[in-house]
Amino acid sequence: MAYENLLTYTEVDHTEDHLKVYANKVQAIPYIPWTYAAYLYFDYGVNHFNNLSVNFEIFCENQPVLPNGVGAIGFSNVIGNISDWAVGNVYCSAQSRGSNIIWIILRGSGTYDTFIGVASTLYYCTMLRSAGGDTVTLKIYSDAARTEPPLDTLTVDGFGTAKWQYSYAFVNQKSETPVPDRLFTGFIQNLDLAAVVAPGVTTDPATSVKERTADLNGTLDDDGGQECNCGFDYGLTTGYGIRTPWQSKYSGQTFAQIIGGLYPNKTYHFRAYAENTEGMGYGGDRTFTTLPAEALGKTRGFAFRGKGFRV
């Protein structure tokens, strides 16, 4: 983890105290006048953000009065609140909808996708995009480790080859029509912009080797910042030729696969593999030798007594 130091970000708050900024957290303090914008951003330089593997946590309190405010993280090529952003930029926002309901919204390129959650609940989010990819996805988790299946996965298409300059640790939406307040009550924290890299994986020794079956084992050492598809290549040479089905894994997790249909008394080569949106990682080559085939029955000597004949 490499959390952004939000104290290094530029704060725009109209000299009012609507945002409380800490090293890893920005707290929104109600309420902001509808004519105001409040945002916290950092200039990373032109075309800095291409692939995305962004972790953050978002918390939104219940507000029974509508309309209400929006708090978001995002990536943009313009400086301003969400109302100023052009099509092609991307953000994830939380918004109270009353009755203890919040919306978490992934929006960009003129489209959006929505998850309906519970107010005053901390959600752990991961925003993903492969380099030059047309699609941005948002996975929403209930656990900080993000190892449980996501509560939902949101998807927005239409980004083409867009790249972005500014990272927003917080951004609101200034209203175009008069409303009493427009800023959500809650916070965003632990923003991690680590870029996705190709994974690292280790091939572990085979176990339970028999005449025609064996267990292949591997460890995902580094997922590169993203959930990986992991499995094995194997065969009679280092050309392998057979690939096992993949399993979804994260850094530090092990994986195994039972393979069958092997030839007895043969040496097989195998290696572990892991794949994310940035490429493939391979473990080193290992070998195992299957057991010799057992005879169908043991040969027994016997004698046949007859006229001059003996076996």
DSSP sequence for 85-122: PPBTBEEEEEEE-STTEEEEEEEETTEEEEEEEETT--
Q: What percent of the chain has pLDDT over 90?
A: 60
Q: Where are the alpha helices (DSSP H) in the chain?
A: none
Whether residue 149 is found in the same domain as residue 260: no
Domain match, 258 and 154 both: no
The answer to whether residues 31 and 109 belong to one domain is: yes
Whether the pLDDT of residue 299 is over 50: the answer is no
Contact 37, 172 (CB under 8 A): yes
* Domain hosting residue 43, numbered range: 6-192
Residue 144: burial class (beta carbons within 10 Å; 0-12, 13-18, 19+): exposed
Q: And the tokens for 45? A: 């330089």
140, burial (CB in 10 Å: exposed 0-12, middle 13-18, buried 19+): buried
**Measured CA distances, 257 to 233, 247, 268, 309 (Å):** 11, 9, 15, 56
222 or 77: which leads in pLDDT: 77
Q: What pLDDT sits at residue 205?
A: 98
Predicted confidence band of residue 295 (pLDDT cuts 50, 70, 90): low
- How far apart are alpha carbons 81 and 88 in whole angstroms? 15
Structure confidence by residue, pLDDT tens digits, 269-294: 999 999 987 789 999 999 999 999 98
More confident residue, 35 or 7: 7
Residue type present at position 110: G
Instruction: Provide the 3-class DSSP secondary structure of residue 8.
Output: helix
Q: Looking at residue 311, what is its pLDDT?
A: 33
Residue 97 binned pLDDT confidence (cut-offs 50, 70, 90): confident
Statement to judge: residues 61 and 175 lie in one domain: yes
The answer to whether the CB of 203 falls within 8 A of the CB of 223 is no
Q: Which amino acid, 228?
A: C
Do 82 and 223 sit in the same domain of this protein? no
What's residue 306's pLDDT? 40
With H, G, I as helix, E, B as strand and everything else as coil, classify residue 160.
Answer: coil
Residue 28 lies in a domain: yes
Structure tokens at 310: 């003996």
- The answer to the question of residue 119 being in a domain is yes
| pLDDT value for 98 | 80
Give yes or no: residues 183 and 215 share one domain. no
What confidence tens digit (pLDDT) does each residue in 134-178 have? 999 999 999 998 888 899 999 999 998 899 999 999 998 887 777
- Are 178 and 109 members of one domain? yes
CB 288 within 8 A of CB 265: no
pLDDT digits (tens, 9 = 90+) for 122-132: 999 999 887 78
What value, to the nearest 5°, has the Cα angle with vertex 39 and ends 66 and 113? Answer: 55
Query: Could you tell me if residue 1 is inside a domain?
Result: no
Q: Is residue 298 part of a domain?
A: no
Is 301 within the bounds of a domain? Answer: no
Its pTM surpasses 0.75: no
- 107: CATH: 2.60.120.200
pLDDT value, residue 232: 98
Whether pLDDT at 196 is above 70? no
Number of domains forming the structure of the chain: 2
Amino acid letter at 3? Y
